[in-house]
Amino acid sequence: MPQVIEFAVDSLETNALTKAQLADLLFDQIGLNKRESKDMVDAFFDLIVQSLIDGKDVKLSGFGNFQIRTKAPRPGRNPRTGEEIPIEARRVVTFHASSKLKEQIQGSAADSAA
């Protein structure tokens, strides 16, 4: 079973896990120095971003897949004025959680409901 790193959510400023907090966890749990921890987290996300920019899918086993999708141009409407405006084609990132992640989330939701 993979090692689970736990941390107190109460100590977080928001309910979101930040890159700085990930770096702190690497520092606390693995023993990298603070600079190495920050550099490792930044390099990880830079690699993901560059892969997506290059049009490559990113698959993280047990977590999920990030994919680039090209959306076709379509007609839109300004909600304030009702004026029709064209929405240009664009690339968007989609995320699909793995079945393993979904099961873990459902399991923790069931545990907290009980």
Same domain, 41 and 71: no
Same domain, 46 and 82: no
pLDDT in tens, 61-95: 999 999 999 999 999 999 999 999 999 999 999 99
Same domain, 52 and 90: no
What are residue 93's DSSP bridge partners?
A: 68
Same domain, 14 and 50: yes
Residue 9 has pLDDT above 50, yes or no: no
Cα Rg, the chain, nearest whole Å = 19
- Host domain of residue 114: 57-114
State the CATH number of the domain containing residue 101: 4.10.520.10
- CB distance 100 to 71 below 8 Å: no
What are residue 85's DSSP bridge partners?
A: 76
Same domain, 47 and 69: no
**pLDDT at position 108:** 78
**pLDDT at position 32:** 87
State the first-to-last Cα distance of the chain, in angstroms, to the nearest integer. 24
Say which amino acid occupies 41: V
pLDDT in tens, 11-63: 545 688 999 999 999 999 988 899 999 999 999 999 999 999 999 999 999 99
pTM of the complete model beyond 0.85: no
